[in-house]
Structures are given as structure tokens and as C-alpha cells.
Structure 1
Amino acid sequence: MPRQGNVLYQFIVLCQAFVINGCAPYPSAATAPSWYQAESFKPYADVLAELELAIAEHNYRITGHNHIGSVIRTREAIPFPDYDTLQFCNLTQAREMLEISPAAVAYMPCNVAVRSENGKVMVTTHLLPTDTENEKLNAFFREINRQLKQIVDFAVEK
């Protein structure tokens, strides 16, 4: 199949996945993601810079940075708030996690969202579940959650 058709096919499959997933019932409280959020009155750019520093200080490498708000502002030529997401990973920890539970790859990479809201900068990350049937994985996730909270807290400190 030509490359253009292949891209179209992938797009259709992705759209179907969103539609099917959208029809699924809401997750139960036991499986719903847990969020950790903190706020700051520092300038948005300062929070982002501190976030990048905290990620590096915890030995993670940033694998992606989506500038959602600024792209919408530029593309639409409209005022729009700041929204960014940063994805990051530590390969040593990733290997350890995957050796404990190969299915845990679904939790990779770590992600932090930053947004402007009502004069504040909000920093949010999703925490990993610590109530699985695998106690070794639970202990590993507790440590990662501790690091994620430290990263968020550092970014919003005065």
C-alpha cells in the first residue's frame, strides 16, 4: 500500500480506538488514575524552567515537550492560555520496571502537564497505582510517585 494510504489507515484505526474507548464506562475508583497537583504564582516560563531542571536533577531525560497553548495561539491567531506537557523517562528505572512487570510499559513515559489558570500556574502529574497484585511493582511505583511529587513541588516553589 502506498505510504499515503498507510497513514490514512493508521489515522482511521486511531480514530476508531478513540470512539470505542469513548464508549467504555468510566473507570472504577480502584482503577481511576490518581493525580498530584500543585500551584504557583511564579511566571509560567519560570515554572517550566524549574520543571525541566527538576526532571534532569532526578536523572530523567525529557523525551517530549508539547507546547499546546502556544501552538493554538499561533495557528488560530487568538489569545489562548498556556498549556504544556512534558514527557520524560529514566532508562535504568524503565528497565527495572519492565523486568518486574512487562505490562507496566503502558505507564511509560512519565508525564507532567502545566497550565495557566486564573492567574496561577498549575502543575499536574498522574501517579502510578500502588495497589496492584504485584507487591514488588507497588514498591517500585511508590518510589516513582515520591520522585514525581518532588519534581512537581520543586517547580512550584517560591
Structure 2
Amino acid sequence: MQRFTGLLSIFLFISSAAHALEPRAGWVVHDTDKSFDELVEAVREAVTTAPIAIVTQASASDGARAQGHTIPGNRIFGLYRNDYARRMLAASVAAGIEAPIRLYVTEDVDGTASLSYKTPTTVFAPYFDEGGDALRELAAELDSVFAAVSESALAD
């Protein structure tokens, strides 16, 4: 019985971890009908027409696969641009730790995928006292850029 309970606990943990992200303060979460691979490609395509670039990528699922494990797909895209970085750093050097701002694609248990991100305003909020209006304006501009990238990636 203990073995069954242990296996059940592991299964419940894995299945709950693979569900769509829950909405949370400062986050935008979009559930989609797209598969994980389709949504990853849609994000890449959306960025090509946006005023931002993919400057980093990371994927725990790719790393797990390389080690012989299978976990639900996930990919983090770090999006930014050098002129955004210069403006951010002119306003707040401390805010530099937040760049690039991330967009997150996760595979859901039903085979679809979700697209989520913390709004740039949320990401930079801890630095607003130091960065003032310049950082607030940059964050608002980036909120619009991230919304446009998401809208484009989600379009059919």
C-alpha cells in the first residue's frame, strides 16, 4: 500500500505541474489550442515582425530529453533590444538584472500549450523609485510590445 501511495503522490505531483499556469498578479496567461511546438514556432515568427528580439532561450524539456527523460514541453524566450537596455540602465542600473524580459511557453496535459509572461511593468516595478518616469515609460512601452507579440503568436 505504501508503494501505491508513493506512486500516486508522484503522479499527482507530475500531473499538477503539467497543468496550465494559473493566473497571478502581474502575469498575463494565455491558454491556446496550439500544440507546444506550434506555439514555440508562432512566438519565433511573431518576434520577427516586432520591435524586439529573442536574445536568450532555455528549455528544461530539451535538457531532460538530452538526458533520456521526458517532461512536458517548456521554453523560455528572453526578449529585449539594445536600445531598451540603454534606456533601462540610464534610469536604473539595478533594473538591469531583470533583462531580458521573459516569455514562457508551457505544454499542458491535454496537448495544448500556454503562453505567459510577467508584464514589464510588474518586472520593473521594484525599481520605479530609483528609475522614475523614464523607467515607467519604458515599462509601459514594453507592455505594449509584449502584448503585440502575444497577440501575433496567438493568432490562427
TM-score (norm 2): 0.70
Partner in structure 2 of residue 26 of structure 1? none
Aligned equivalent of 1:148, options 123, 126, 146: 146
Tell me the matched-pair count. 126
Q: Which runs of 5+ in 1 are unaligned?
A: 1-31
For the pair 1:79 / 2:70, whether they are aligned, the reply is yes
Per the TM alignment, residue 33 of structure 1 is displaced from its structure 2 partner at its CA by: 6.8
Tell me if structure 2 keeps the 8 A contact 1:44–1:116. Answer: yes
- Return the match for 2:49 from 52, 57, 60: 57
> In the alignment, is the contact (CA less than 8 A) between 1:33 and 1:128 conserved in 2?
no
Contact map agreement 2:76 2:103 (CA 8 A) in 1:
yes
Matches within 5 A, 1:105-144: 105-119=96-110, 120-129=112-121, 132-133=128-129, 134-144=132-142
Measure, in 1, the Cα distance between the counterparts of 2:25 and 2:85: 20
Give identity over the alignment, percent. 15
1:73 corresponds to which letter in structure 2?
A: R
What displacement does 1:156 show? 1.9
TM-score by length of 1: 0.70
CA distance in 2: counterparts of 1:74 and 1:96, whole angstroms: 38
Contact 2:28 2:117 in 1 (8 A): yes
The alpha-carbon deviation at position 114 of structure 1 amounts to: 0.7
